Amino acid sequence: MDSLRHEIRAAARQRRTFAIISHPDAGKTTVTEKLLLYSGLVRTAGMVGSRKSRKMATSDWMEMEQERGISITASAMQFPYKDVVINVLDTPGHQDFSEDTYRTLTAADSAVMVIDAAKGVEAQTRKLFQVCRLRRIPVLTLINKMDLPGRPPLDLMAEVEAVLGIHASAINWPIGVGSQFRGVVDRTTHRVSLFHKTAAGGATKALRTEVALQSPELKTLVDEETLAQVCHDLELLEMAGNPFSQEAFLRGEVTPVFFASALTNFGLENFFDAFVRMAPSAQPRVADTPAGEEISIDPVEMPFSAYVFKIQANMNPRHRDSTAFLRVCSGKFERDMVVRHHRLGTEVRLSRTHSLVAQDRNIVDVAYPGDIIGIVNPGQFLIGDTISLTGGFNYKPLPQFQPEVFARIQPVDVSKRKAFDKGMTQMVAEGTVQIVHSLNEHDSFIAAVGRLQFDVLQYRLKTEYRVETALELLPFECSAWLMGDVATFRPPSDAMMVKDHQNRPVVLFRSSWSKQFARERNPNHTLLEMG
């Protein structure tokens, strides 16, 4: 038993499981792709965007993602980087897919927040950071696109602090900005990394020259004006900047800040190496017992346990099946082990398990705390399910958000009804859309957090199930779960009462004003924003 604990503890310490978050187009998927490049997993990095002649990003596996140049669904990848094992969760940046992102963040032990050097902290970045804060997830900040015209680094640091309400501590500092971006200074070692382009579009690793900040050689490599500005900024940081503390970082009180260009690869290896040193390994998880008590699940001491944070079907045309993504929280996983399915109250054998790099699969024989594994799902797993060897607890429910767009959807060809129903069942299981029913059960509607989710739904029904659909938007823009006696609730005249898949009453509103009016009109009822 002691040898098994030692094995699990050593493996858990090697794991770095993190999510990459940002506003759309800040470059997070490109950062993910470059991590694959520097790990040696790919020889040349593909770029995200509408570049027909270039290799597409490995993490954006869905054809629609490649066409639009955005991440639509969270993807999970595992691979070695130097002396650790990386589990990276690349999340959608677009707000219409924020529910998928929020669920995925529950599986992370830390997060990398990517910020555009020209745009600073944007709206979706704020929302995702607040989710990290709520879940006490430590955040590292990567200020990207330093090779393009952008704002002064000190201004960006100040904005991170002011907008996000967290101390920012610069770990390195850029040498030049825009077309003059040449490298970074490590503030701890006072070493300078100067970079050299090696391939168009950053397809291969950047070459770098290492020199001391005080070396006379540096003056021959960097122009006098740029070097003077760097030294001035570094003096200001020493006098007035926030010191970095690993303990404060793990508590979520300070974010270490790095500067880089994912396009050219300048500064990325420096960041990746620092991330490996700073980011936490697998952490204890909080769970609920049947008696309503909260307990902490130790990743080493507790036998195997995991939970489902994502379900995705048809990731690979060669594997027309559904995959449940599991976060291993404790103990050692071994293929073919029999575990308890807490929701169903049955035992299941975990035989068809694999790790993922986008849609590519590799058989997994063993896994440890922090690992993300996929398991072929024949319909027995739902998002939020807990499995374990011991039973007696459930990991915390995953967040659910009230939908803001609603519609009716039907197959254009009625003979395709069976395929349509199969596709809809799968999309609902994945959380792509929700289904709500009228109180008398005569009508059904689809609901989503954002309009783009309906586009994904229709696209996937067409490409994966060969069903063309007609969609009719409904005139509602927000909703809330109703707590209280439905019979005595007085909805506004333009509202609609429905129920969700758990038979919970939901009120659909045409405007936020209408929702507020309903609150004031029904003081004995509660309208919940999140479930």
Q: Which of 34-43, 62-71, 161-170, 319-328 has the lowest mean pLDDT?
A: 62-71
- Average pLDDT score, the chain: 86
With contact defined as beta carbons under 8 Å apart, do 173 and 152 qualify? Answer: no
pLDDT digits 0-9 by tens, 376-426: 888 889 889 999 999 999 998 876 667 788 999 999 999 999 999 988 988
- Point out the least confidently predicted range of 57-71, 163-177, 482-496: 57-71
pLDDT of 68 reads 46
| Percent with pLDDT over 90 in the chain | 58
Instruction: Report d(CA 462, CA 220) in Å as an integer.
Output: 60
Whether residue 353 has pLDDT greater than 70:
yes
Residues 462-467 have a mean pLDDT of 90
- Count Cβ neighbours within 10 Å for each residue of 356-392 and write b for 16 or more, e otherwise: bbbbebeebeebbbbbbbbbbbeeebebbbbbbbebe
For residue 478, what pLDDT band results from cuts at 50, 70 and 90? confident
Q: Please state the rounded mean pLDDT for residues 157-169.
A: 94
pLDDT for the residue 268: 93
Going by pLDDT thresholds of 50, 70 and 90, the confidence category of residue 48 is very low
CATH numbers and ranges of domains, the chain:
2-278 (3.40.50.300), 288-395 (3.40.50.300), 405-528 (3.30.70.3280)
Specify which residues 372 forms β-bridges with. Answer: 327
70: tokens are 């955005």
Give residue 430's pLDDT: 80
Residues 6+ apart with CB under 8 A from 55: 44, 45, 46, 47
Q: What is the mean pLDDT of residues 341-354?
A: 92
Asked whether the predicted pLDDT for residue 47 surpasses 70, the reply is no
518 within 8 A of 492, measured Cβ to Cβ: yes
Tokens of 302: 């507790």
Q: Dihedral, CA atoms, 328, 330, 333, 338, nearest 10 degrees?
A: -100
What is the Cα–Cα distance from 37 to 199, expressed in whole angstroms?
13
Residue 356's pLDDT is what?
A: 65
**Higher model confidence: residue 357 or residue 417?**
417
Which residues have a Cβ under 8 Å from the Cβ of 180 and sit 6 or more positions away?
A: 226
What is the C-alpha separation between 366 and 447, in angstroms, rounded?
39
Q: What is the pLDDT of residues 288-340, one digit of tens each?
A: 999 989 999 999 999 999 999 988 876 655 656 778 899 999 999 999 999 99
Residue 178: predicted pLDDT:
93
| 360 — pLDDT class (breaks 50, 70, 90) | low
Identify the residue with better confidence: 502 or 202.
502
Whole-angstrom distance, CA of residue 34 vs CA of residue 441: 50
| 55, pLDDT greater than 60 | no
252-288 residue pLDDT tens: 999 999 999 999 999 999 999 999 999 999 989 999 9
* pLDDT score recorded for residue 69: 44
97 and 65 in contact (C-beta within 8 Å)?
no
Q: How does residue 1 score in pLDDT terms, banded at 50, 70 and 90?
A: low
pLDDT at 37 over 80: yes
Q: In this structure, what are the phi and psi dihedrals at residue 526, rounded to the nearest 5 degrees?
A: -120, 135
If one compares 98 and 449, the residue with the highest pLDDT of the two is: 449
Model pLDDT for residues 174-193, shown as the tens digit of each residue: 999 999 999 999 999 999 99
Q: Is the pLDDT of residue 88 over 60?
A: yes
